[in-house]
Amino acid sequence: MPHRGILETASRQFERHFGRPHTAAAYAPGRIEVLGNHTDYNEGFVLSAAIDAGTVFLAAPSAGTECRVLAGDVLEEARFDVKVPRADAATPWANYVKGVVAGLGARNRFERGFDGLLLGNIPLGAGLSSSAALEMAAALALCSLYGLPVDRMALARVGQKAEHSYAGVKCGLLDQISSMFGRKDHLVMTDFRSLTVEALPLGDDVCFLMCNTHVKHKLVESAYNERREACEAAAAGFAAALRRPVNALRDVSAAEFDRHAGALDPVVAKRAAHVIGENERVQAGRRRLESGDLLEFGKLMFASHESSRVKFENSCKELDVLVDAARETHGVMGARLSGGGFGGSVVALVHPREAAAIGHALSAAFHKAVGRPCDVRTVAPSDGAAVLK
């Protein structure tokens, strides 16, 4: 179980710091995005997976309304009132927890605060959504602590709102849904209009390599928000041209794009082309999975990265070096950036028996091109978030 080691460490830290054991605990995994880049907030489709790394959140009730939350990795504590969880630039990591408390408190009146501790093993800045893992672990643990009903999709929305209101990132629901609805040895197929979620078998003889570049560019949040605004502008432009409802880019076909893209700002048109193409690739990817054609599925991953690089411009030199190396490495079926982009990680589709040799080759190619190593590890699609008994 991926959470066992960090749960034991977190339990000891909790008792040392707060002087008593925790009474509620939950675990939530990070995620990889396999196909469908920036399609979630465009009401499109995504194939993703929860991974075998994540975050635990432990909690126990406090006597008053004060909340104390400890980040177990850096031993930094944040304090706030459970009734007024205001964002604070001094401890930005705690804002995700405060956002969850605010979301849960919108429908429930909390009369008592809590002591909490978070600890995870997701590499920060790797594009594996450590923030969503924290949000979902905190949400489940606090539901357990306060005796609240668990609606997984509603809690995913609580996490999304925490990102919007407390972290300033206008993300979609991809990260939270992937963390909540993951399933071992399966990919998560999400329709972000109907919010229907399916688990698609990936197969036994396949896994992913996660290659962490350790790059996190400045202003990544503002760049993400700019991409979203461009997509919204494109949808509005197509609605005017097509004279029918276009709620999001999901409503625009490739043929309609070809006919009307010329009326858009060129940059806005490029962003739209990426999203429309990604939705088609996800649907094609599902068909490839169902037929067991992993080689063709991998080609869609390579095509997805190229679209991200050229049309959405959310890649970077380091990510491109890894994907180019993956194209030339025997045994790699597909590779692409994972997550919002502008740094982070590349995911590569490989057979487990070849993972070690491929990982060594990709790391060596990265070191030769960039002058420093990258971290490479095998990632297994895993079960989603859970309350820990």
Under the phi-then-psi rule, with left for phi > 0, alpha for psi from -120 to 50, and beta for the rest, what region is 77? beta
Contact 233, 265 (CB under 8 A): yes
Contact 105, 139 (CB under 8 A): no
Helix, strand or coil, per DSSP, at residue 218: coil
Residues in the chain: 389
Exposure on the CB side of residue 387, measured as CA atoms within 13 A: 18
- 205 is a catalytic site residue: no
Alpha carbon distance 380, 187 (integer Å): 10
Out of 175, 185, 320, 383, the active site residue is 175
**What residue spans of the chain are helical by DSSP H?**
4-18, 92-105, 130-146, 152-162, 174-181, 220-242, 254-260, 266-291, 294-307, 317-328, 355-370
Q: Which of 31, 358, 305 is nearest to 187 (CA)?
A: 31
| Residues with a known catalytic role | 175
